[in-house]
A and B are shown apart, each in its own frame.
Chain A
Amino acid sequence: MSDPYKELFGLDLDPERLKEVLGAYGDILVQIEKLRGLDLTDVHPAVVFEPTAPYRNKP
């Protein structure tokens, strides 16, 4: 993989800008890592797939 950020994340930035973005993301990642530490195996996410949505009455 010549540019993993571009190929894995679709982030097509020059190296200097990429460094800035990764640096800024560091503080947020600390919070997301905390979230990753929760065991939520048996919890259904708060996302509802509604196959009837296209059949709702549109105005």
Chain B
Amino acid sequence: MSQPLWQLPLEELAPAIRAGRVSPVALTESCLERIRAVDDELKSFIHVSANAIEVARKAEREIKAGRWLGPLHGVPVGVKDNYVTADMPTTVGSEAPDLSFPLRDSTAAARLRKAGAVLIGKTRTHEFAWGNVTPPVCNPWDLSRVPSGSSGGSGAAVAAGLCVTALGSDTGGSIRMPAAACGTVGLKATFGRVSRDGVVPHSWSLDHAGPLTRTVADTATMMQVLAGYDAADPVCQDQPVPDYSKAIGKPIKGLKIGVVRNHFFENLQEDVEAAVEKAIGDLAAAGVQIVELKLPLLEYGLGAIFAIELSSSTAYHDASLKAGRVAHYQPDVRMLVEMGRLVTGPDYLKAEQYRSVLMEEYRKVFERVDAIAGPTTPITAWKRGDWTVQVAGKPESVLAASWRFTYPYNLTGLPALSVPCGFDRDALPIGLQIVGRPFDESMVLRVGHAYERTHEWKQHHPPL
């Protein structure tokens, strides 16, 4: 192989490991060396596993003995620091005193271990997964910029080759935003598809677990391990899990793809709009029928997600608020947690009523289309320390801008994939968002893969 091991996607590594052409120990050493070489600058990991090499050696022995467990066997995977793990501490990005989280494996971590993955370390999260910056992590495409968040550590680490894939979590866009900003693939599966057992809660009815990877096929592989019923997560649904690999390579000619013109094409950076329009044009050229849509109800979504997210998060942090611990949170998170007390009960339930009508609107849309495509975010990675960005010639807060196109799918729980679709004038990645019907992750993977394989974006690597 001409590329270094740390740069290869799972889809190339897995068959090579199985065939004995790539050693799990060499791969893990390559990622650990990469961490040592660049993570002082990138700061994507908060904890690196002390026993990763030992686990890789065990995997190598098992594979040599003919006991291959599947495509994740012997593959280094990063775990976002809001998933509890048995052998690594969890901080959820917080330095507040008197906080502790159990040393046990979350369901996702346990499933990855059972599949033979090497859990190489914990990737940094914005504190309590409540933000879109993930300090102190840098964006590997430009270290002066943020990786977005809250799974910014996972996005930066996967993009820069510090691990092959990683876990993220997504309450308003926290998998898809860093995927877009760092040039990786990221999937927020349907609400209830991937267990959140052992993921420190942020907002119970909005939180989703899922992977960040280098390619769409890698996401399909991760989903095969992560998806499925788990009674330990009260919202996890007992739905059959399809063979996601069957979605990879399926033709898209004849599919109908919706483009929601209001909301998703208002106030976005010129280069983002151009790249996404080009991607939609390419899908049409591949034989997809594009269906133009409008969903005026989206106008009310921001108030709804704020009402739910603020009040839920504050309910979770209530004991810390009373104990005075919240004063030790980072200023932005502290502000959000304190503000949540101001959301009233009727506001919260009105937001939940709104979700019902929004879900119904999307159900009607999916009677007409197979998937929806649009931009993942209106902006590319912004400078660290900037709280406003220029969007369509006007200043806008990054908090308001960054999640505008992702949160509707946390409100509706629909599966949403971000796949790279180009670069802006500053060579920063841009994400294309593909959305499907509930539990139809196969369709979003099918469309995402069809787009990915006809473009060369995944061949680009950060200059780090």
User: Which residue numbers of A lie inside 8 Å of B, CB to CB?
Assistant: 9-11, 13, 17, 20-22, 24-25, 27-29, 31-36, 38, 40, 43-47, 53, 56-59
B440 within 8 A of A: no
Chain B: residues with CB nearer than 8 A to chain A?
A: 205, 230-232, 234, 299-300, 302-304, 306-307, 310, 321, 335, 338-339, 341-343, 347, 349-357, 359, 400
B338, B352, B354 interface centre (most CB from chain A within 10 Å): B338
* A28 to B, closest residue via Cβ: B306
Contacts of A17 in B (CB 8 A): 338
Decide if B300 touches A57 in the complex (CB within 8 Å): no
Q: Is the CB of B341 within 8 A of A10?
A: yes
Whether the Cβ atoms of B231 and A40 lie closer than 8 Å is no
Distance between Cα atoms of A47 and B204 in the complex (Å) = 11
Q: In this complex, what residue of A is CB-closest to B238?
A: A56
Given A40-B353, A44-B356, A45-B349, check contact A35 B232 (CB 8 Å).
no
Task: Beyond A22-B342, A40-B353, A56-B234, list 13 extra A-B contacts (CB 8 Å).
Answer: A9-B341, A10-B341, A11-B338, A11-B341, A21-B342, A25-B339, A27-B400, A31-B303, A35-B307, A35-B351, A36-B350, A47-B352, A59-B230
- The chain B residue sitting closest to A43, CB to CB, is B353
Q: How far is the CA of A27 from the CA of B396 in the complex (A)?
A: 12
> Do B343 and A24 touch across chains, with their CB atoms under 8 A apart?
no
Q: How far is the CA of A47 from the CA of B321 in the complex (A)?
A: 26
- For A46, the closest partner residue in chain B by CB is B355
User: Which residues of chain B are within 8 angstroms of A28 by Cβ–Cβ distance?
Assistant: 303, 306, 310, 339
Report how far A33 CA is from B310 CA in the complex, Å: 15
Residues of A within 8 A of B339 (CB): 21, 24-25, 28
Q: Which residues of B contact A20 (CB under 8 A)?
A: 335
A23–B328 Cα gap in the complex (Å)? 21
State whether B356 touches A45 (Cβ < 8 A). yes
Counting residue pairs across A and B whose Cβ atoms lie within 8 Å, the total is 84
- Given contacts A11-B341, A58-B232, are A44 and B307 in contact (CB under 8 A)? no
Q: Are the C-beta atoms of B303 and A33 separated by less than 8 Å?
A: yes
Q: Is the CB of A40 within 8 A of B354?
A: yes
In the bound complex, CA of A29 to CA of B342 (Å): 9
Q: Please name all residues of chain B whose beta carbon is closer than 8 Å to the beta carbon of A33 when the two chains form the complex.
A: 303
Contact partner, B353, options A9, A11, A45, A59, Cβ 8 Å: A45
Q: Determine which of A36, A43, A47 lies in contact with B347 in the assembled complex, contact meaning CB atoms within 8 Å.
A: A36
- With both beta carbons as reference points, the residue of chain B lying nearest to A6 in the complex is identified as B341
With contact pairs A13-B338, A21-B338, A24-B339 given, residues A32 and B231 touching in the complex (Cβ less than 8 Å)? no
A41–B44 Cα distance when bound, in Å, is 47
CB atoms of A38 and B350 under 8 A apart: yes
Query: Which residues of chain A are near B307, meaning CB under 8 Å?
Result: 32, 35
What's the least CB distance linking A46 to chain B, in Å? 4
**Alpha-carbon gap, A25 to B338, bound state (A):** 10
Could you tell me the distance between the alpha carbons of A21 and B419 in the complex, rounded to whole angstroms? 37
Contact of A35 with B347 in the complex, beta carbons under 8 Å: yes
With A32-B307, A45-B355 known as contacts, the answer to whether A59 contacts B231 (CB < 8 A) is yes
Whether the Cβ atoms of B342 and A11 lie closer than 8 Å is yes
Complex Cα distance, B334 from A20, in Å, reads 12
Contacts of B351 in A (CB 8 A): 35
Bound-state CA distance A2–B354 (Å) is 35
Residues of chain B lying within 8 A (CB to CB) of residue A38: 300, 350, 354
- The CA of A43 and the CA of B297, in the complex, are separated in Å by 14
- Considering the chains assembled together, what is the distance between the CA atoms of A43 and B304 in angstroms? 15
Task: Point out the residues of chain B lying under 8 angstroms from A35, CB to CB.
Answer: 300, 303-304, 307, 347, 350-351, 354
Structural contact, B335 and A32, CB atoms closer than 8 A: no
Residues from chain A with a CB closer than 8 A to the CB of B353 are 40, 43-46
Q: A34 near B347 (CB under 8 angstroms)?
A: no
Complex Cα distance A13/B299, Å?
33
Residues of A within 8 A of B356 (CB): 43-46
The docked-state distance in angstroms from the alpha carbon of A27 to that of B230 is 39
